[in-house]
Amino acid sequence: NAGVTQTPKFQVLKTGQSMTLQCAQDMNHEYMSWYRQDPGMGLRLIHYSVGAGITDQGEVPNGYNVSRSTTEDFPLRLLSAAPSQTSVYFCASSTGRTDTQYFGPGTRLTVL
């Protein structure tokens, strides 16, 4: 099993550009989530999904969109990138919302 995969590993955007961060898991997990990690802030939940077709907002959802058309994939879209979105983004999956989270390797995003 590959576990949780994320692409790209690194990305540089200009302010106002849009892009999609990809996340996929092959563990048949129902629950998937996106976090951002900033220095001194720990991990903050952006959006999550409890199954295909179902998504909900986390702690810091503004500026991000998600969709969940399949169990395996959970892309995160930045609509109009801002410097405040410079961060490391992690995707995670688990069997259920309260269970052990399996994390991807992360995407380091810089917005100029």
Give the interface with another protein as residue ranges (CB under 8 A): 4, 35, 40-45, 90, 92, 97-106
* Complex with another protein: residue 69 or 97, whichever CB lies closer: 97
- CB-nearer residue toward another protein: 45 or 82: 45
Q: Quick one: 41 or 112, whose CB is closer to another protein?
A: 41
Q: How far is the CB of 69 from another protein (least distance, A)?
A: 24
Q: Are 62 and 5 in contact (CB under 8 A)?
A: no
Q: Round to whole Å and give the CA distance between 50 and 31.
A: 4
Q: Which is nearer to another protein, 24 or 92 (CB)?
A: 92
Minimum Å gap between C-beta 67 and another protein is 22
Largest CA distance in the chain: 37
Q: How far is the CB of 57 from another protein (least distance, A)?
A: 12
Question: CB of residue 14 vs another protein: minimum separation in angstroms?
Answer: 24
CB 19 within 8 A of CB 105: no
Dihedral Cα 109, 37, 4, 14, nearest 10 deg: -10
Query: What end-to-end distance do the CA atoms of the chain give, in Å?
Result: 36
